[in-house]
Structure 1
Amino acid sequence: MSEPAETPTTPPEGHVGRTYADSTPWWPEPARPREGAPDVVLVVLDDVGFGSLGCFGSEIATPTMDALAAEGLTYTNFHVTPLCSPTRASLLTGRNHHAVGMSMLSNADSGFPGYRGQVTHAAAMVQEVLRDTGYSTAALGKWHLAPMDRTTSAGPYDQWPLGRGFDRYYGFLEGLSDHFLPELVQDNTRVEPPATPEEGYHLTEDLVDRAIDHVSDRVSVAPDTPYFLYLALGAAHCPHQSPERYLQAQRGRYDEGWDVVRERRLARQKELGVVPPDTELAPLNDGVRPWADLSDDDRTVMARLQEAFAAMLEHTDDQLGRLMAHLEHLGRRENTLVVLMSDNGASQEGGALGNTNTLAYENGDTTTTEESLARLDDIGTWRCHSNYPWGWAQAANTPLKRYKQNVHAGGVRAPLVLSWPAGMAGAAGGLRTQFHHVVDVAPTLLDVVGVAAPEVRRGVPQMPVHGTSMRYTFDDADAPSRRRTQYFEMYGHRALVSDGWKAVAYHERHSPYESDRWELYHLPSDFSECHDLAQERSDVLHELVGRWESEAERYSVFPLDDRNFAERAAQYSSAASPRRRRRYELRPGMDTVPGGVTPLVYDRSYRIEAHVRLAGHDEGVLLAHGDVNGGHVLFVRDGLLQYEYNHQGTRYHVAGALPGAGEHRLAVAVQRTGERQALARLLVDDAEVGSQPLASTARFMIGWQGLQVGRDPGSPVSLRYPRGFPFTGHLEKVVVALADDGGADAPHEVLD
């Protein structure tokens, strides 16, 4: 017997009779924002330090961002977390990052409440609240808030942008992207870039094109509905890449070195009022040498690396200029609140010498000046993933000390500009010095649009909002700060700011926390944290350290964990993680397997075996994992089965004869022979056709980009074939099998 049909719910108003003639229709009132609610454009720059924008004292040309500051407000005492995912989690929820589960990056779940690598649904994001209120919402660019092991086409999608309140999404889910050859997602589907670098493609231009189109759609179809646009640019996170004309415009600009640039930026900051007149330049960070002490080759490489960063930031500013001009053209700029900020301070991930291969840092290695000098003309192009050295990173953070990842000012004091012509009359060009934190942005947005954060959303009770609105500062430059206390923690570095005092402890990785030395600074009189008062005011320090402990308990900071994200991801132990598998059967036509879900081939034996049917003269990629930075690829070309292992730019290659037409198994068996050393053997139907020692292999990461079967459409792992290079024969499947713990016979053992 069939189930009875469900009776429709009687409307709360109106009447349902037997016929239309004796019924009264009723329509529910849709959610609508308040009359005159502004459009909101939230722009997040990546790894752009406090002193990097023109309006914050830099010589880098950022006229669009400077214009936003000139017509709005510049916040000089704004703080963030010292890493991207945690800042974004706090930015969009208005809560502290540990409390919502994002202690570090979304690349790992460490098994503790504050370390889940995803944002709890008990902390509604601002776009979720705004959409419930009637706003249209869109996100473009970097997400990095979904657990990386849940970013395959199998989902789940609940932590992807569309699962967290955005109507539309276009961008990349990882922490960084190649800007010429990105791995892109549109809504919940992986897509390829619309053009190639040779055709003039660049990710920032693509994202701004999409922003312009999205705004045009909204204004044309629903002009009375305000929108929230989250534009999270990949710039200026490494790799520093931009079109050639921007690179050429920087040539020679930084030959005088970081010491001179830091002095000039500080002088300009004082002129602008961005820092107090008595601000001192922090001493050079540990490991940063005076420019004059470097060799000529060092200076050549390091100047070129800084040129690539500056070129990228100027290119980004030009693209934002296109978006602002379009808003003006549409007549929407006046009532648009633009928020411009950076997610953390400048990156220390280039190392003391800088690098031309960003994987080196992730694997705990370095690149030499000689290696970088050989790639000088590749810096800034698609052929190179570069990052600048510590000296330029400290210059980017002028006048502060330390960097991204640290909780000294260089990691957590960030540029912030708010511009809303219709809502900031009389405040244009103003400076605001009140102490604020990234948790305060979401409450500010909700305050401006006239919406309260919900206590319950979709049946889920909500944790309290930790931030406070900054709107009180719009009309009163001298208003006392309404945020008095804020804790900081990252990789065991700890700090607390309270009523102008800052206690901070720098932590050496894998050392006892008890040996960390706490410093004390009075920020109103010591902007750049130069004068440690720990001895003179031990009473204040003792109180602040105790308060940090209390805040840490309150916001789920414990247990402290100083492992880097690669270590945590490699040891990820959730039973649900796809990375627990030792055998993968991969089929042609599948989407890219993102880097956070690829087989853990690090420092172990493994075997890659392609089941094919050859018809003669077939060629193409069988499996590719990684990018121009590093990776490995099994492919067929020139009548040969070939395997290339690209370890941070050192390329190991082996080739062997192919069999005749028919069904075959084409494989490479990589046998671990020592710590991060191996022997690669090419096999055709289990018969060896070639071998090559691998003198160095990856420790934690083989490549940033993911894994493809039957082609290599992104940043190429090998330069021995044309871009893409799809396999022309019949590819049934590719089997990847991992050994338990290494050993010469392990690849065969795990295939049983």
Structure 2
Amino acid sequence: MTTKEFHGRIGRTYDESEPWWPEQIRPPENAPNVLLITLDDVGFGQLGCYGGLIDTPNIDRIAENGLQYRNFHTTALCSPTRSCLMTGRNHHSNGMAGITEISTGFPGYNGHIPHENGFLSETLVERGYTTLALGKWHLSAAESNSAAGPYDQWPLGRGFERYYGFLGGDTDQYTPSLIYDNHQVEPPATAEEGYHLTEDLAQRAIEFIGDAKQVDPDKPFFTYFCPGACHAPHQVPKEWADKYSGKFDMGWDEARERILERQKELGIVPENTELSPHNEDVAEWASLSDDEKKLYARMMEVFAGFLEHTDAQIGKILDYLEELGELDNTLVMLVSDNGASAEGGPTGSVDENRFFNNVPEDLEDNLAAMDELGGPKYFNHYPWGWTWAGNTPFRRWKRETYRGGASDPMVVSWPDGIDARGEIRTQFVHAIDLVPTVLEVIGIDTPDDVKGVAQSPIEGTSFAYTFDEPDAPEQHTTQYFEMLATRGIYNDGWRAVHPWPLGKPITAADLSATTLDDSGWELYHVAEDFSEAHDVASEHPEKVLELAQLWWTEAGKHDVLPLDGRATQRLAEPRPQPGKPRDRYVYYPGGQYIPENAAVKVLNRDHSITADVTVPDGGAEGVLLAHGSRSGGYSLYVMGDRLRYVHNYVGAEEYQVVADEPIPEGAVQLRMEFETTGEATPGEGKGAPGVVRLYHGDEQVGEGEIPVTLPITTGLTAGLSCGRDALNAVAAEYREQTPFAFTGDISRVTVDVSGEPFVHEEAEMDILMARE
């Protein structure tokens, strides 16, 4: 039975019949291509065209070809902002109050974007557009990111026809966790062969666009290009970082002054803009030792190289569109998802897994690593003094509702549709405004339904009115902000903020310390005080009350309630999981690696790993089960005819146990057992010590002590794999042979975790929050 109307005629034979084809869906005549580029953790003052000290000639080129916005805003966090960019609705309306890993069972917080909030890709694909997504996603529930799905919130489930990238919040640039459409793939090359994720993503974008245009050159595309840059790890080939050698020796205090001076010269801030007050968390550069200055300057050089390298890849895409003759009719919009990130802490980090496991970083060790920062050996992030400078002239940073967290760069070009070149726009714009702008530009009405689902109202306001009217009255006049129970509200040139407690490092514990009453609001007249340098709440108590009441009104309209300032309790909130809790996990070779959130949890508890294998004549070698990366994890494998187990402690030490006898040929069970011999002290960075015993069948063939283990996590960017070490190898002994696949036959590997699980909730919260 057909469900489509047929307008031909069917007779007894072909000669008596009239064929008919439905009209092909096409977008409006001369509809532009759309290229939306979303950078990660790039602050207002970091791009060259925003006064930054880093060269970004290709992003500057977009600005020179069109418009630069100085009053663009986001939610101050990654996934929430990206949900706004895709749907035109506020982050709470999307269920994306935070990242999905801290979701709770309330409409604004559940981490599932409802299908009544259709994605721009879903609208455009139904109107004849080619839809392509590349890079970071982080818009699907964490529990759905394994091969078990469900896939309805993956890119192909939300209107994109092709996808190549990574689903989580961050990934290693040299050994990324890649998804191609709906399945995992391994990187096409290694770091030693010159591989880098951002280059790969740019090349794939060019291929995807070319594939479509060479077949149907008149069909426009919507390409969502989201490199992991410049989120940690700050990784880039050494020559890019070396270009900036010595360029940041002046330190972050002077850097802020230089950036503001450049911003005024460019007109990207008003001439009367002042630097916001010194962040109380940030040490004055002059107070640091010479070694600290040397290390921290190098960390910033690496970040600078990473950003310029990303700019170069964006340039490749722009050049390709120009070669195709498509650039002039492409609406290019480039934004950052939030302000610069302070997740490197006060001293920066050479490997975030040490931070997540509470293992202190030593200045001398980090100085020794300095020449290799940015390379595949380290997962580095700069200190938060550079974060503060990167958000010049604003105060604070990502996760906070001050302008340093929520005000970001946005450049727009469309030569065929925008007459202006190199001009600045001052009107208030928010991430929810991009969808209605694109629809207006194309000439498409907001759909009543998408895939048969009735649609909720778009909450953003098109800013297309600003394209050719620089002095047009602002149309988006009110916008609420909420992030982790901190609040903000913008209305007609005024901005009220209910902030974090200042003067102390920001930790998960601060969430529960944040008060939820209406005391503590600060007030800024941003129409006159662009950088929020002067709190005038005491001078205008009536305006504070007005804006506080307006915030509660907006909160009620957009599912912001209940406000949730909890910390570890929010992490422990029950939420859907990919499978029921169990004592035995069975893994099979040849399948996809298991993301960290879906893998078995063995740390700080008795457990065993049993591999049912068949060893051919002459022996076998390779990995039976590996979990983690060079930054921490464990692996059970065979090398030199011996069963071996290694526990990698945050990349600093590897503790190995080796069997006394060669593995037998034929069918055999190869097993390790871990028995804890002490208590974990995660606050001190130490997991439970234990004894490892190795077995061939029931025969014990080896034993050894593991004096310290990972206390909290194997890491964020690698998971568990069976029959090989899928990505960034756990054990140094076989790292040069990665993936070191087992050369015998594995029928299954069983992990038994009958012992009680160990959870350090506050540390887990800090880990998950660093993924946004």
TM-score (ref. length: structure 1)? 0.94
Partner of residue 463 from structure 1, selected from 456, 464, 467: 456
Where do residues 131-210 of structure 1 align in structure 2 (5 Å cutoff)?
A: 131-210=125-204
Query: 1:478 matched to which residue of 2?
Result: 471
Contact 1:10–1:16 at 8 Å: present in 2 too? no
Partner of residue 326 from structure 2, selected from 325, 332, 344: 332
Q: Deviations over 1:519-540 (max 9, x none)?
A: 1111111111111112111111
Query: 1:749 matched to which residue of 2?
Result: none
Q: CA deviation at 1:659?
A: 4.7
Contact 1:654–1:690 at 8 Å: present in 2 too? no
Q: CA deviation at 1:365?
A: 5.8
How many angstroms apart in 2 are the aligned matches of 1:428 and 1:671? 67
Q: Deviations over 1:150-195 (max 9, x none)?
A: 1222222111111100111111111111111111111111111111
Change in Cα spacing, 1:550 to 1:186, as seen in structure 2 (3 Å) is same
Partner of residue 488 from structure 1, selected from 481, 499, 514: 481
Q: Aligned letter for 2:341?
A: S
Query: 2:751 matched to which residue of 1?
Result: 736
- Mapped pair 1:559 → 2:553: no
- Say which SS state the counterpart of residue 513 (structure 1) adopts: coil
Partner of residue 431 from structure 2, selected from 428, 434, 438: 438
Change in Cα spacing, 1:499 to 1:301, as seen in structure 2 (3 Å) is same
Query: 1:750 matched to which residue of 2?
Result: none
Contact 2:643–2:662 at 8 Å: present in 1 too? no
Contact 2:175–2:727 at 8 Å: present in 1 too? yes
Q: CA deviation at 1:224?
A: 1.1
How many angstroms apart in 2 are the aligned matches of 1:295 and 1:617? 56
How many angstroms apart in 2 are the aligned matches of 1:340 and 1:411? 17
Change in Cα spacing, 1:236 to 1:470, as seen in structure 2 (3 Å) is same
Change in Cα spacing, 1:111 to 1:10, as seen in structure 2 (3 Å) is closer
- Mapped pair 1:682 → 2:675: no
Contact 1:11–1:26 at 8 Å: present in 2 too? no
Query: 2:671 matched to which residue of 1?
Result: 666
Q: Aligned letter for 2:339?
A: G
Contact 2:632–2:710 at 8 Å: present in 1 too? no
How many angstroms apart in 2 are the aligned matches of 1:311 and 1:435? 31
How many angstroms apart in 2 are the aligned matches of 1:600 and 1:547? 45
Query: 2:317 matched to which residue of 1?
Result: 323
Q: Deviations over 1:336-395 (max 9, x none)?
A: 111111011111100000001123444566533233223212210011000011101111
Query: 1:240 matched to which residue of 2?
Result: 234
- Mapped pair 1:610 → 2:581: no
How many angstroms apart in 2 are the aligned matches of 1:132 and 1:10? 16
Query: 2:705 matched to which residue of 1?
Result: 692
How many angstroms apart in 1 are the aligned matches of 2:673 and 2:742? 17
How many angstroms apart in 1 are the aligned matches of 2:731 and 2:4? 65
Query: 2:646 matched to which residue of 1?
Result: 644
Q: CA deviation at 1:510?
A: 1.8
Query: 1:39 matched to which residue of 2?
Result: 33
- Mapped pair 1:627 → 2:632: no
How many angstroms apart in 2 are the aligned matches of 1:360 and 1:229? 36
Change in Cα spacing, 1:9 to 1:171, as seen in structure 2 (3 Å) is closer
**Structure 1: segments with no counterpart, 5+ residues:** 1-5, 744-752
Q: CA deviation at 1:20?
A: 2.4
Change in Cα spacing, 1:638 to 1:36, as seen in structure 2 (3 Å) is same
- Mapped pair 1:601 → 2:612: no
Q: Aligned letter for 1:583?
A: R
Query: 2:210 matched to which residue of 1?
Result: 216
Q: Deviations over 1:438-496 (max 9, x none)?
A: 00011111111111121222221211110010100001111111111111111121111
Q: CA deviation at 1:572?
A: 5.6
How many angstroms apart in 1 are the aligned matches of 2:238 and 2:231? 18
Contact 2:514–2:565 at 8 Å: present in 1 too? no
Q: Deviations over 1:231-278 (max 9, x none)?
A: 011111110111122122222221221112111101000000111111
Q: Aligned letter for 1:574?
A: R
How many angstroms apart in 2 are the aligned matches of 1:583 and 1:500? 59
Partner of residue 412 from structure 1, selected from 406, 410, 433: 406
Change in Cα spacing, 1:134 to 1:351, as seen in structure 2 (3 Å) is same
- Mapped pair 1:713 → 2:726: yes
- Say which SS state the counterpart of residue 21 (structure 1) adopts: helix
How many angstroms apart in 1 are the aligned matches of 2:402 and 2:248? 26
Change in Cα spacing, 1:26 to 1:359, as seen in structure 2 (3 Å) is same
Change in Cα spacing, 1:453 to 1:175, as seen in structure 2 (3 Å) is same
Q: Aligned letter for 2:539?
A: E
Partner of residue 522 from structure 2, selected from 516, 519, 524: 519
Contact 1:77–1:435 at 8 Å: present in 2 too? yes
Q: CA deviation at 1:205?
A: 0.7
Which shifted more, 109-118 or 385-394?
Answer: 109-118
**Structure 2: segments with no counterpart, 5+ residues:** 501-509, 759-772
Q: CA deviation at 1:81?
A: 1.1
Q: CA deviation at 1:639?
A: 4.0
Q: Aligned letter for 1:594?
A: P
Contact 1:355–1:366 at 8 Å: present in 2 too? no
Contact 1:149–1:578 at 8 Å: present in 2 too? no
Contact 2:584–2:754 at 8 Å: present in 1 too? no
Q: CA deviation at 1:220?
A: 1.1
Change in Cα spacing, 1:499 to 1:323, as seen in structure 2 (3 Å) is same
Contact 1:144–1:173 at 8 Å: present in 2 too? yes
How many angstroms apart in 2 are the aligned matches of 1:309 and 1:159? 32
TM-score (ref. length: structure 2)? 0.91
Partner of residue 424 from structure 1, selected from 412, 418, 421: 418
Q: Aligned letter for 2:210?
A: S
- Say which SS state the counterpart of residue 259 (structure 1) adopts: helix
How many angstroms apart in 2 are the aligned matches of 1:447 and 1:262? 38
Change in Cα spacing, 1:528 to 1:361, as seen in structure 2 (3 Å) is farther
The count of residues paired between Structure 1 and Structure 2 equals 734
How many angstroms apart in 2 are the aligned matches of 1:605 and 1:550? 52
- Say which SS state the counterpart of residue 658 (structure 2) adopts: strand
How many angstroms apart in 2 are the aligned matches of 1:350 and 1:320? 26
Q: Aligned letter for 1:471?
A: A
Contact 1:353–1:368 at 8 Å: present in 2 too? no
Q: CA deviation at 1:108?
A: 4.6
How many angstroms apart in 2 are the aligned matches of 1:256 and 1:492? 36
How many angstroms apart in 2 are the aligned matches of 1:148 and 1:474? 38
Q: Aligned letter for 1:590?
A: G
Q: CA deviation at 1:602?
A: 4.6
Q: Aligned letter for 1:318?
A: A
Contact 1:647–1:698 at 8 Å: present in 2 too? no
Change in Cα spacing, 1:424 to 1:272, as seen in structure 2 (3 Å) is same
Q: CA deviation at 1:696?
A: 4.9
Root mean square deviation of aligned Cα: 2.1
How many angstroms apart in 2 are the aligned matches of 1:604 and 1:318? 47
Question: Percent same amino acid at aligned positions?
Answer: 45
- Say which SS state the counterpart of residue 408 (structure 2) adopts: coil
Q: CA deviation at 1:80?
A: 0.4
Query: 1:100 matched to which residue of 2?
Result: 94
Q: Deviations over 1:273-324 (max 9, x none)?
A: 1111111112232321111110112112111111111010111111111111
How many angstroms apart in 2 are the aligned matches of 1:9 and 1:542? 57
Contact 2:633–2:710 at 8 Å: present in 1 too? no
How many angstroms apart in 2 are the aligned matches of 1:353 and 1:567? 28
Query: 2:764 matched to which residue of 1?
Result: none
Q: CA deviation at 1:651?
A: 2.4
How many angstroms apart in 1 are the aligned matches of 2:490 and 2:16? 68
How many angstroms apart in 2 are the aligned matches of 1:718 and 1:349? 27
How many angstroms apart in 1 are the aligned matches of 2:418 and 2:14? 52
Query: 1:746 matched to which residue of 2?
Result: none
Q: CA deviation at 1:739?
A: 4.0
Q: Aligned letter for 1:532?
A: D
